[in-house]
């Protein structure tokens, strides 16, 4: 049997979005039902009695801020690109080459030796 996919159905899992939010205050007890979640974004603070799946005011508290990212950043110096590539040479002027058969070279050498 294959798995059925239902659009806009009940989500699977119970991960509360407020646990990783900057404005969320989560208090958990020993049982699953012993959980208190308070949202500090709204005024007055709001007790949320259910698991939050999506929130428009969510800000991840584990994401670094701008100052932390600047301290963690590595300074990379630009690499100097040479005009010449190692192992290759550029042709500055084009010369025509003459191709000769092997027989002509033998005749030319014989004429030179005489």
pLDDT tens-digit profile of 67-86? 999 999 988 887 776 666 66
What pLDDT digit, counting tens, does each position of 13-25 carry? 667 888 899 998 8
Residue with tokens 């027989």: 103
Residue 24's nearest CA partner among 4, 41, 5 is 41
Quote the pLDDT of residue 52: 86
Q: Where are the alpha helices (DSSP H) in the chain?
A: 66-72, 102-113
CB 41 within 8 A of CB 57: yes
User: Is the pLDDT assigned to residue 8 strictly greater than 80?
Assistant: no
Angle at 16 between CA 10 and CA 17, to 5 degrees: 105
Quote the pLDDT of residue 67: 93
CB 23 within 8 A of CB 41: yes
| C-alpha Rg value of the chain to the nearest Å | 38
Buried b (16+ CB within 10 A) or exposed e, 57-87: ebeeeeeeeeeeeeeeeeeeeeeeeeeeeee
At 109, list the tokens: 């050498």
Tell me the whole-structure pTM to 2 decimals. 0.48
């Amino acid at each position: 049997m294959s798995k059925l996919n239902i659009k806009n159905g009940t989500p699977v899992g119970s991960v509360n979005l407020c646990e990783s939010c900057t404005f969320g205050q989560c208090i958990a007890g020993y049982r699953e039902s012993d959980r208190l979640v308070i949202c500090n974004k709204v005024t007055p603070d709001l007790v949320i009695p259910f698991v939050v799946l999506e929130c428009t005011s969510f800000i991840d508290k584990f994401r670094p801020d701008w100052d932390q990212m600047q301290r963690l950043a590595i300074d990379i110096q630009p690499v100097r690109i040479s005009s010449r590539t190692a192992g290759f040479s550029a042709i500055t002027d084009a010369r025509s080459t003459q191709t000769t058969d092997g027989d002509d070279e033998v005749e030319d050498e014989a004429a030179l030796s005489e």
